[in-house]
Each structure stands twice: as C-alpha cells, then as structure tokens.
Amino acid sequence: MQLTCCGGLDLNYTAHLDDALQRLHDEGRYRTFIDIERRRGAYPHATWRRPDGTERPVTVWCGNDYLGMGQHPAVLAAMHEAIDATGAGSGGTRNISGTTIYHKALEAELADLHRKDAALLFTSAYIANDATLSTLPRLFPGLIIYSDALNHASMIEGVRRNGGAKRIFRHNDLDHLRELLAADDPAAPKLIAFESVYSMDGDFGPIEGICDLADEFGALTYMDEVHAVGMYGPRGAGVAERDGLMHRVDIINGTLAKAYGVMGGYIAADEKMCDAIRSYAPGFIFTTSLPPAIAAGAAASVRHLKTDQDRRDRHQTQAKILKTRLRGLGLPFIDHGTHIVPVIVGNPVHTKLLSDMLLDQHGIYVQPINFPTVPRGTERLRFTPSPVHGPDEMDRLVLALDDLWSQCALNRAELSA
C-alpha cells in the first residue's frame, strides 16, 4: 500500500502499519480475538472455535454478563416477542423514525430504577459517557470538569473532546480534589466525574465524600455505575442506591451490556438535563437507535432484577468464595470488596502466556489485561465470577491456577487492598 503524492513524495503506509503492529507484538500487548459461541441456557459454558477449525468446550471466566441475564428466559421471551412484532432494526435515529414504544418503555424503567425524572438511551455506555461529557460545556459555558485519574476511557475521551477546562485528581483522593476545587474561580460552573466501581482494581469510589465536596463548591456530580447497576442496591440501581446516595448524584451513567446481559447505555438525571443532552449531543442525535428487540430485552432484564435479590446475593457469594480460595493458595490478587477479582501477573508476556495455557490446557477462557487498560507492571488476569459459575467450575479454575502458578514459578503473595 504505497501512495505517491502529487508532490512526488512516496509514503509507504504499509510499513507504518507493520511498525505499529510489531511494537505491540514486541511488548507482548498484541490482542488476539478468541472465537467463542455461547450456548443458550449453558452459560458460562461455550464452544471455542480454534484457528485450525477444531472445536473445544470452554468455560468463560472474563465475561461482563455478570449475572447470566443474557440467558434469562424473561429476557429472551421479550426479545422474541419484540422481533416478531416489529422486525429487526429500529429504522432510524431517535429523531427520525427510530423512537418506538420499546425505547420509551426502557427509558421509563431506567428513570424509575434510579429514582430520577428521566433517562436517555444510547447505543452503549461508552457513547453515553463520551456524548454527555463532551456536550456539557456547551450547556454550561466555562464549565470545569474534575475527573478521577482512573476513570473509564470513554469518560476521558468525553472530557478531552469537550474543549473546556479539565482537572485530573488522583484516584479516590478527596484531599487532592478539594485542592483543585478550591484553586478555581468560585463562580465557574463545575462538574465532578467519577465511578462507583472501578473495573480494573475492583475498588469503590468515595461517593458520599465527593457529593459533600460538590455541595460545598457548588459542583454537579456525574457518576459512572456501569460495573454496579443490576448488582448493588435493593433494586439493583447500583452502589449509590445501596448507600442511600442516589438523590445526591446529578447524572448517573449505566450500561445494559453487563449485569443486564443485553446491550446499550444510558444516563439518568432530571428531565431538563436529559432533554438538553438529547437536543445537543451529536453522539445521540446522529446515531441509529437500538433495535426494538434489544430495548425490549433490556427492559425485561431491568424489570426482573429490581426484585431478584437472591441472584445478587449469589453473585457476591461466588466472588467471596473465589477470593477465599485464591487467598488460600497465596495468589497475588486485589480485594476491595467488590465482585471483580484481578489476579496480578505483572508482565504482559507472562500474562498472555498464562491466558493461553488456561485456554489450551484447561478449557478456561480469561483474557489478559495489559497496558494501556492498566498501568505497565500491573498486567493481570481479571476474573468475573457469577451466580452461574458452579462448584465444579470453581474447582477447575482454582486447581488450574494453582498448577500454572507452580509450573511457571510465579510469586505467591496476596496484594494489599
């Protein structure tokens, strides 16, 4: 792929692509897709389609379908009913023929879930974060956004693209956040962007402390609950609901692709905020809306999990069991009390090797997590136990990790939370 420009300059685009990809290979960070086929009703069991055309049964231990709702009969029935009634796609953007009764019903469920006036549906939580955070400075001229250093890439991108002022505070450091707030013009509009559960280390954000600072300095609050909705709180609205703090958070971002097992993202806020984002955000205005069947399935999942506390309890129990067993083996994992179990390897090549060995030798699928998702030197295997991972799956995972840790002569020492 070589292009000769009108000025006579030869540009070898292929060489640049080769260099970029080779750097990833050299650093052990090149990512390989694993082709898996989920089997209805059998999750977390799936079929791995190998590159050589053969197949092998595997157990998925890194999925974001945290509660197995992607297989729930109520969700599947709602999707079948909607696709039979309406067909496949939505047919347009929300402004042009793409708003259906299914989209409106889902937004009503989400607004009720978070006890907000309204909710606004996006095609993903990434788009919801990016579109909302990049639009807010247009609504509040001079807005300063204070963003936690470990926020999601989608939040970082939204803050970066908005063209306004931004401040990055050290992760979960309320003192540093206070310093930054105090140093700025008291009359300037402000917004604090943070998360309730940080997915790579599995730690909680200090919601109450951030809300206290927001009240003191007259700031809005924007909280990402994507790794918490469905799983925390008496109705699954997230950590803010669990802690009785939902009313203090101005904008809540959530996903329908993790605990709810389907697809899509959203914000929940007061009616005027949602109306303004709907009216100004290009990421909402110019995107084809979710298929009605997806919206119907997501609404059924949200509705169901508002009352299924047993599933949430079993999820937390499975996470505690896995941590207890890893602790007994002395494996280096991080425990902040959430459902996420990161086992630290600390080297990208070794992390990829362990992932490959688990898949090839034990039929266990867990994807390596490397830079830039996590800092260099903290490469890890990130396990997400669920209510549908039974005792047999747990036994096989723990025995496999014990075997490979010994086989590869890796350190055994639990990391402090």
pLDDT of residue 104: 98
Mean pLDDT of 75-88: 98
Residue 253's pLDDT band (cuts 50, 70, 90): very high
Which H or E run contains 262?
Answer: none
Mean pLDDT of 394-403: 96
pLDDT of residue 417: 52
* Residue 26 CB partners (closer than 8 Å, separation 6+): none
pLDDT of residue 7: 55
| Local structure of residue 93 (DSSP, 8 states) | B
Closest CA to 212 of 237, 184, 175: 175
3-class secondary-structure state, position 346: coil
pLDDT per position as a tens digit, 181-204: 999 999 999 999 999 999 888 999
Q: Is 190 known to be catalytic?
A: no
Provide, rounded to the nearest whole percent, the portion of the chain with pLDDT above 70.
96
Mean pLDDT of 204-216: 98
pLDDT per position as a tens digit, 44-69: 999 999 988 899 999 999 999 999 99
DSSP of 160-171? HHT-SEEEEEPT
List the single range of 81-95, 155-169, 309-323 with lowest mean pLDDT: 155-169
Residue 410's pLDDT band (cuts 50, 70, 90): confident
**Identified catalytic residue from 258, 272, 323, 352:** 258
pLDDT at 411 over 90: no
Residue 164's pLDDT band (cuts 50, 70, 90): confident
Chain position carrying tokens 């990434």: 126
pTM: 0.93
pLDDT at 10 over 70: no
pLDDT of residue 230: 98
